[in-house]
Every structure is written in structure tokens, then in C-alpha cells.
């Protein structure tokens, strides 16, 4: 099941601007190895879920995975080949704004560090932005 909020106040929100760097959530809090975003972008809930599944398969469900981002931004889209006007499109999916330097995933409890690095590398390929593995 994909991540999404249980309740939300507004059905549609404006896009806003993506700031380039993050300095608040750029350190490990829970695990001992992490996956960090190198650039800013919007990550959909499907990307987060695909990445989580890939990481948990690689570590054979032995360790603990923390997801440090949550898709709380509703993203709307209009159908293709529809004419201009007639308002904003319907809710399409949920996404998360990510700045460069934000920790996305953390791992702990994996005995072999090479397996953890390989798992995070595989999970990073599922995301639409550049990522980096760090300790």
C-alpha cells in the first residue's frame, strides 16, 4: 500500500518553489547507514514504495529500515488532450518535496556492510533524483 495522509485540509495545493539545500534533516538519527538526496525534486509515493521494497529484498528483511520522508503534497493532473481552462485537474497522486541533503532512508541491523551498501544503491536507482550513500 502506498503512503498517503489519512486526512487533509485542502484537496489541491500550489506547487511552490523547491529550495536547493537542506540543513535540518541531513544527519542520521536512527540507523548507522543512510541514503541521502543530492539534488532537489519531488518524489512520488510510488517511488518511495518501490525503493523500500527493493531495499528490503536486498537485505532479506533482516535489518530495520526507516523512511525519513512522507508524501504529504497532493499532486493534481489534467487528462491528456483536454483543452485549456476549466480549472485545475483532479488529484492524481501524493508526493514529497525533497531538498538536496535530505536523508531519505536509514538502515540498521544488517551484519554485512557490503549488503547494506548494495541494498541502498539498488533503492537509490528507483528514485527520480541523484542519491548518495553515507555513514
Q: How far apart are CA 50 and CA 56, in angstroms?
A: 10
Give the CATH architecture of domain 33-77+90-134.
Alpha-Beta Complex (3.90)
Domain residue extents for the chain: 33-77+90-134
What mean pLDDT value characterizes the chain?
93
Comparing C-alpha atoms, which of 25, 9, 18, 24 is closest to residue 43? Answer: 18
Mean pLDDT to the nearest integer, 12-31: 87
Share of the chain above pLDDT 70, in %: 99
For residue 49, give the C-alpha cell. Answer: 514504495
pLDDT over threshold 70, residue 1: no
Mean pLDDT to the nearest integer, 73-97: 93
What pLDDT, on a 0 to 100 scale, did the predictor assign at position 20?
A: 80
Mean pLDDT to the nearest integer, 2-11: 90
pLDDT tens digits, one per residue of 32-48: 999 999 999 999 999 99
**Exposure string for 21-54, b = 16+ CB within 10 A, e = fewer:** ebeeebebeebebbbbbeebbbbbbebbbbbbeb
Q: How far apart are CA 54 and CA 59, in angstroms?
A: 9
> For 13-27, 62-76, 103-117, which range has the lowest pLDDT when averaged over its residues?
13-27
3-state SS of 16-84? CCCCCECCCCCCCCCCCEEEEECCCEEEEHHHHHHHHHHHHHHCCCCCEEEECCCCCEEEEECCCCCCC
What pLDDT, on a 0 to 100 scale, did the predictor assign at position 2?
A: 79
- Whether 110 and 118 have beta carbons less than 8 Å apart is answered as no
Mean pLDDT to the nearest integer, 116-133: 97
For residue 62, give the C-alpha cell. Answer: 533482516
Predicted model pTM: 0.90
Amino acid at each position: 500500500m502506498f503512503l498517503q495522509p489519512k486526512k487533509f485540509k485542502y484537496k489541491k495545493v500550489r506547487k511552490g518553489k523547491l529550495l536547493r539545500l537542506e540543513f535540518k534533516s541531513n544527519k542520521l538519527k536512527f540507523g548507522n547507514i543512510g541514503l541521502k538526496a543530492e539534488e532537489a525534486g519531488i518524489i512520488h509515493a510510488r517511488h518511495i514504495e518501490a525503493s523500500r521494497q527493493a531495499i528490503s529484498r536486498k537485505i532479506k528483511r533482516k535489518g530495520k529500515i526507516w523512511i525519513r520522508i512522507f508524501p504529504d503534497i497532493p499532486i493534481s493532473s489534467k487528462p491528456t488532450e483536454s483543452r485549456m481552462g476549466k480549472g485545475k485537474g483532479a488529484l492524481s497522486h501524493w508526493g514529497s518535496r525533497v531538498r538536496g541533503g535530505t536523508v531519505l532512508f536509514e538502515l540498521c541491523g544488517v551484519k554485512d556492510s557490503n549488503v547494506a551498501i548494495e541494498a541502498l544503491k539498488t533503492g537509490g536507482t528507483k528514485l527520480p533524483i541523484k542519491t548518495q550513500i553515507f555513514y
